[in-house]
Amino acid sequence: MIITKQKDPNSILETISKYKSFFLIGCSECASLCGTGNEDALKDMAGFLKSNGKEVTGMMVPKTGCQTLGTKIELKKDKDACEAADAIIVMSCGAGTQSATEIFKDKPVYPANDSLFLGNMTRFQMFDERCSLCGECIIGKTAGICPITNCPKGLLVGPCGGMSDGKCEVSPDTPCAWVRIYERQKALGNLEEMKEVIEPKDWSKGQKPGTLATRKDKKELTE
């Protein structure tokens, strides 16, 4: 999931200062789990805006904010409230915000959240980064633990000389990713696999902006 954190409300206020009325859009997926785009978060934002002299014409939490077409269809029932707003504030990740940019051709769109990383919720509303979206996953060779993400240096061969007592030199409270990989391979009886040299990564596989079409056309479907 994409982990988001709400921006400082005062910085949002500063960014939107020239507008008076707003329609708020959340997201019922990642941003809801992060508490940054659920109904309560939207209500809090509406209260904050109103207490600062702004108007809120309406709000909506779409099923999946980054599903542009679905969100556009869901927003139809709020057509009047959207039209009445000077601008749109989106409380999801940057992808959801850019859905709104595509949907609202003639209205400014502002993000209320910062998108931080792709991670897992390890406990209720506690998140850890797990994947750097490198475009070619190698964790089949590293005991299911990503060194690119979990090692601050992104080393494909480790541990580095700074590792001490199994901890990382960059953040001494954190276990070294390569020690974790070693220990897991050992426990799985797969230590031999660590002798295989991992080739340098082809970073062009993660080139931005990424694009992918997984939809099969009709012809393929009937084959």
Other CB atoms within a 10 A radius of the CB of residue 59 amount to: 20
β-sheet with 113-123: strand ranges across:
2-6, 113-123, 126-131
**112, 168, 181, 185: which one binds ligand SF4 (CB under 6 A):** 168
Determine if 137 is a binding residue for ligand SF4 (CB under 6 A).
yes
Determine if 169 is a binding residue for ligand SF4 (CB under 6 A).
yes
Q: For ligand SF4, which is the closer residue by CB, 107 or 141?
A: 141
Determine if 155 is a binding residue for ligand SF4 (CB under 6 A).
yes
Dist CA 90 CA 112 (whole Å): 6
Dist CA 22 CA 84 (whole Å): 8
Determine if 153 is a binding residue for ligand SF4 (CB under 6 A).
yes
* Contact assessment for residue 22 and residue 59, using Cβ atoms and an 8 Å cutoff: no
Tokens linked to 215: 């939809």
Determine if 182 is a binding residue for ligand SF4 (CB under 6 A).
no
**5, 17, 20, 170: which one binds ligand SF4 (CB under 6 A):** 170
Determine if 138 is a binding residue for ligand SF4 (CB under 6 A).
yes
Q: For ligand SF4, which is the closer residue by CB, 133 or 188?
A: 133
Amino acid in position 185 = Q
Q: For ligand SF4, which is the closer residue by CB, 116 or 138?
A: 138
Per CB under 6 A, which region of 59-67, 72-80, 91-99, 147-155 contacts ligand SF4?
147-155
Q: How many residues does the chain have?
A: 223
- Closest approach of Cβ 156 to ligand SF4, in Å? 9
Q: For ligand SF4, which is the closer residue by CB, 51 or 211?
A: 211
Strands 113-123, 2-6: parallel, antiparallel or unpaired by DSSP? antiparallel
Determine if 148 is a binding residue for ligand SF4 (CB under 6 A).
yes
Residues 114-133: x where in contact with ligand SF4 by CB under 6 A, - otherwise, as a string? -----------------xxx
Per CB under 6 A, which region of 42-50, 93-101, 102-110, 161-169 contacts ligand SF4?
161-169
Tokens linked to 179: 């020690």
Helix count and strand count (H, E) for the chain: 9, 7
- Helices marked H in 52-108: 68-74, 79-84, 94-103
* Contact assessment for residue 145 and residue 181, using Cβ atoms and an 8 Å cutoff: yes
Which residues of this chain interact with ligand SF4, rule CB under 6 A? Answer: 131-134, 137-139, 146, 148-149, 151-153, 155, 158-160, 162-163, 168-170, 176-178
